[in-house]
Amino acid sequence: MRSLIATVVLFCLMILAATLNFLYVNRVADEMTNLATSLPSPTDSTCVEKAASLCQKWKKNAPIVGLTVGFSTVDKLSEHCQTLLSCAEVGDVYGYYSTLSLLKDSIDDVRRLEQFEIENLF
């Protein structure tokens, strides 16, 4: 009887942890998407500051997101953030918009990998 209770408790804890992880990763992805969408053009004087804040936001959350999202996805998003900031700093309009598109796609990849589905629980 005790083993059944322990199993049920552990199962509930696993479901709770998966749910909290899903909520956290999707909240971070939503915030990153909002920041990426609100970035001005690279000719704007505030572009470098806003791109830097997007990078800082990601650097702050990447280690925790990386616990459940694959390394290659997290690394790719980190690289796109840094490239976007570099393009904003030098005023490379083509590189900026190309990287911004890749960044948004990487954020969608993070969200897709953390969907709340039964397959992702096991």
User: Among the listed ranges 23-32, 40-49, 106-115, which one has the minimum average pLDDT value?
Assistant: 106-115
What pLDDT does residue 1 have?
83
Percent of the residues in the chain that have a pLDDT greater than 90, as a whole number: 70
Please check the confidence at residue 18 and state whether its pLDDT lies above 90.
no
Structural tokens at position 74: 């997290």
Please check the confidence at residue 121 and state whether its pLDDT lies above 60.
no
CA distances for 62 relative to 8, 91, 102, 117, angstroms? 32, 26, 17, 22
CA 69 to chain centroid, in Å, comes to: 9
How far apart (Å, rounded) are the C-alpha atoms in residues 89 and 109? 26
What pLDDT does residue 7 have?
93
Residue-averaged pLDDT of the chain: 90
* DSSP character at residue 68: T
